[in-house]
Amino acid sequence: MGSPACDLALFGAMGDLASRKLFPALYHLYRAGLLSEESRILALARRDLSEAEARYQIGQSLEEHLGASAVEASEVEGFLARVSYLRLDFADGMGYQQLGDWHHQGPGTNTLVLYYATPPALYDQITGHLRDAGCCDERTRVVVEKPIGQDLSSSRELNDQLAGVFREENIYRIDHYLGKETVQNLIALRFANNLFASQWDQNHISHVEITVAESVGVDGRWSYFNSAGQLRDMVQSHLLQLLCLLAMDPPSDLSPDSIRDEKVKVLKALSPLTPERISTHLVRGQYTAGTAEGVPVPGYLEEEDAEGPSHTETFIALKVEIENWRWAGVPFYIRTGKRLPEKRSEVIVHFKPAPHYIFDPDQKHLANNKLIIRLQPDEGMALQILTKDQGLSRGMRLRQGPLELTFAEAFETDRIPDAYERLLLEVMKGNQYLFVRRDEVEYAWRWVDQLLANCEECGAHPKRYAAGTWGPVASIAMITRDGRSWYEDA
Ligand SMILES: NC(=O)c1ccc[n+]([C@@H]2O[C@H](COP(=O)([O-])OP(=O)(O)OC[C@H]3O[C@@H](n4cnc5c(N)ncnc54)[C@H](OP(=O)(O)O)[C@@H]3O)[C@@H](O)[C@H]2O)c1
């Protein structure tokens, strides 16, 4: 289903996010006929460009990021005809009126959608200038990117600023993980299949692993990263969102608030990592020189733009517990890091073994089913089940093998839509179920803040790990103490 007509004003239209993700996503929506004929796009940036020059640059970046073979000249032309350009210094109130004029000169029925693809430090000024120029009404939607603050108090401040102008039902806080096909599929998998729904608790699941691994380092953004670290940058948003979708109770329907109410309950039930638990439940790491894809790479403190010593973690592993009936005694081991051996995001749900084991004692370690949910690189799912090994000589030897569902193959599609395509489509439709509500952000920060404070109190500084390895050995020790291992070590 296509989207209702919108006027999309894109702040930061020449920035990295807009070039790499937003324009390619909009182009794909246009190509797929999902962008309403009346929808218009206003690219806002401070560069001195004519409309033709801006369109040319956007066209070039589509080619750069999608590949020349994926863009069709006539379609690019048709798409760019929807794009206007307005030069604007976002910090300066002058010029906002022109945005209002652009919107009012349109069909009149289009919903105005404001997308802040800018540094978050500008959000407040942009919001204030938009309000002063009379650009917003009760229908105007605003899309903001993570990070929503650096801690609970700054996130509240930012949310208050937005709430001063926009209604909560018109604020779309992006966590792009929520737009991924597999993440959405978690909802279908859990709540459309009674097979899983009836097994999804502490009676049947022993533990869960969530890994979000990157092989890149800080990618020229040392200063930005150094002020955040993995806990603020990744755990507070993507990993806690994944955890919520895995652990939440069934919502009563698919409405945004039903889903988000259940996610909030999980966040409220997260067991605090008190100072006594820090040494057993948390490992922070920082990479030293090593290799990435066979090439020598510098350590975090030797990166080109690094400035002095730092206790910022580039790796974190956590044992998270959820204090409710469903999950009592089921740890969620979560980890994320930079300069790990590969780019891989996956969830492994480990089911408990059958109550009484009757096969070869040597194979007992195989006897638990695992559900593997891959987010990247190749989105899909696999259920590890046990069957009898084939052949006359094998007796009742067991064999573990996957029931495999690779989306691209199973659904005979040559491409899975990028998360931003779905997210932009849902914003235009006015559906908030893939966006993060204010209380979700704030409960997540509350948990992360106490964790950071307790790390500080305990002096839990990052341990070293060589680039190209799976983090500090202490991360392996953390899970081994519980008689388990990370999936790649099993
Ligand atoms: N890039 C990603 O993959 C990614 C992923 C997740 C979240 N985000 C979030 O998305 C937002 C944008 O990120 P980004 O990577 O695209 O940042 P970026 O490359 O720095 O882009 C920001 C854009 O804002 C423009 N800008 C800054 N100050 C301005 C001003 N006073 N007036 C007019 N334009 C101004 C910059 O213009 P100039 O080019 O003229 O300097 C730049 O084009 C941030 O909140 C970031 O945290 C980004």
For residues 343 and 70, the model is more confident at 343
**Do residues 184 and 306 share a domain?**
yes
Which residue's C-alpha comes closest to atom 43 of ligand 1? 15
Examine residue 372 and state whether it is found in any structural domain, yes or no: yes
**Do residues 66 and 189 share a domain?**
no
Q: How far apart are CA 252 and CA 70, in angstroms?
A: 41
pLDDT recorded at residue 441: 97
Q: How far is the CA of 325 from the centre of ligand 1 (A)?
A: 43
Examine residue 310 and state whether it is found in any structural domain, yes or no: yes
pLDDT recorded at residue 104: 93
For ligand 1, pick from 10, 14, 17, 98 the residue to mutate: most ligand atoms within 8 Å of CB.
Answer: 17
**Do residues 125 and 188 share a domain?**
no
Q: What percent of the chain has pLDDT over 90?
A: 81
- Examine the residue annotation and report whether 28 is marked as an active-site residue of this protein: no
Q: In this model, does residue 411 exceed pLDDT 80?
A: no
Examine residue 163 and state whether it is found in any structural domain, yes or no: no
**Do residues 215 and 81 share a domain?**
no
**Do residues 128 and 196 share a domain?**
no
Average pLDDT, the chain: 93
**Do residues 384 and 458 share a domain?**
yes
pLDDT recorded at residue 92: 93
Q: In this model, does residue 429 exceed pLDDT 90?
A: yes
pLDDT recorded at residue 219: 86
Q: At what angle do helices 152-163 and 438-458 cross, to 10 degrees?
A: 160
Examine residue 238 and state whether it is found in any structural domain, yes or no: yes
For residues 71 and 241, the model is more confident at 241
Amino acid present at 433: Y
* Active-site pick, 28, 103, 207, 238: 238
**147 prior amide bond cis, ω within 30:** yes
The CA-based angle 301-304-306, given to 5 degrees, is 40
Which structural domain, as residue segments, surrounds residue 95? 6-145
Q: How far is the CA of 120 from the centre of ligand 1 (A)?
A: 9
Q: How far is the CA of 471 from the centre of ligand 1 (A)?
A: 30
**Do residues 139 and 183 share a domain?**
no
Q: What pLDDT band is residue 178 in, cutting at 50, 70 and 90?
A: very high
> Between the CA atoms of 254, 260, 262 and 266, what dihedral angle is there, to the nearest 10 degrees?
150
For ligand 1, pick from 23, 46, 232, 233 the residue to mutate: most ligand atoms within 8 Å of CB.
Answer: 46
**Do residues 141 and 220 share a domain?**
no
Q: How far is the CA of 118 from the centre of ligand 1 (A)?
A: 4
Which amino acids bring their CB within 6 angstroms of ligand 1?
A: 12, 14-17, 45-47, 89-91, 117-120, 122, 145-146
Examine residue 166 and state whether it is found in any structural domain, yes or no: no
**Do residues 338 and 227 share a domain?**
yes
Q: How far is the CA of 86 from the centre of ligand 1 (A)?
A: 16
Which residue's C-alpha comes closest to atom 42 of ligand 1? 15
pLDDT recorded at residue 414: 63
> SS3 for the chain, per residue?
CCCCCEEEEEECCCCHHHHHHHHHHHHHHHHCCCCCCCCEEEEEECCCCCHHHHHHHHHHHHHHHHCHHHCCHHHHHHHHCCEEEEECCCCCCCCHHHHHHHHHCCCCCCEEEEEECCCHHHHHHHHHHHHHCCCCCCCCEEEECCCCCCCHHHHHHHHHHHHCCCCHHHEEECCHHHHCHHHHHHHHHHHHCHHHHCCCCCCCEEEEEEEEECCCCCCCCHHHHHCCHHHHHHHHHHHHHHHHHHHCCCCCCCCHHHHHHHHHHHHHHECCCCHHHHHHHEEEEEEECEEECCEEECCHHHCCCCCCCCCCCCEEEEEECECCCCCCCCCEEEEEECCCCCCEEEEEEEECCCCCCCCCHHHHHHCCCEEEEEEECCCEEEEEEEEECCCHHHCCCEEEEEEEEEHHHHCCCCCCCCHHHHHHHHHHHCCCCCCCCHHHHHHHHHHHHHHHHHHHHHCCCCEEEECCCCCCHHHHHHHHCCCCCCHHHC
**Do residues 214 and 318 share a domain?**
yes
CATH classification at residue 378: 3.30.360.10
Residue 390 burial class via C-beta count within 10 angstroms: exposed 0-12, middle 13-18, buried 19 and up: exposed
Q: How far apart are CA 293 and CA 251, in angstroms?
A: 43
Q: What is the mean pLDDT of residues 296-325?
A: 95
Q: How far apart are CA 42 and CA 102, in angstroms?
A: 8
Nearest ligand 1 atom to the CA of 146 is 7
pLDDT in tens, 115-142: 999 999 999 999 999 999 999 999 999 9
Are 383 and 371 in contact by the 8 Å Cβ rule? The answer is yes
Structure tokens at 44: 């806002």
Nearest ligand 1 atom to the CA of 90 is 32
pLDDT in tens, 58-94: 999 999 999 888 888 999 999 999 999 999 999 999 9
**Do residues 136 and 207 share a domain?**
no
Q: What is the mean pLDDT of residues 215-237?
A: 94
Examine residue 343 and state whether it is found in any structural domain, yes or no: yes
CATH classification at residue 20: 3.40.50.720
Evaluate if pTM is beyond 0.85: yes
Are 84 and 41 in contact by the 8 Å Cβ rule? The answer is yes
pLDDT recorded at residue 377: 85
Which residue's structure tokens are 């533990």?
207
Which residue's C-alpha comes closest to atom 9 of ligand 1? 145
pLDDT in tens, 280-289: 999 999 999 9
For residues 403 and 473, the model is more confident at 473
Q: What pLDDT band is residue 1 in, cutting at 50, 70 and 90?
A: low
Examine residue 444 and state whether it is found in any structural domain, yes or no: yes
pLDDT recorded at residue 293: 86
Domains contained in the chain, number: 2
pLDDT recorded at residue 413: 65
**Do residues 85 and 205 share a domain?**
no
Examine residue 171 and state whether it is found in any structural domain, yes or no: no
pLDDT recorded at residue 183: 86
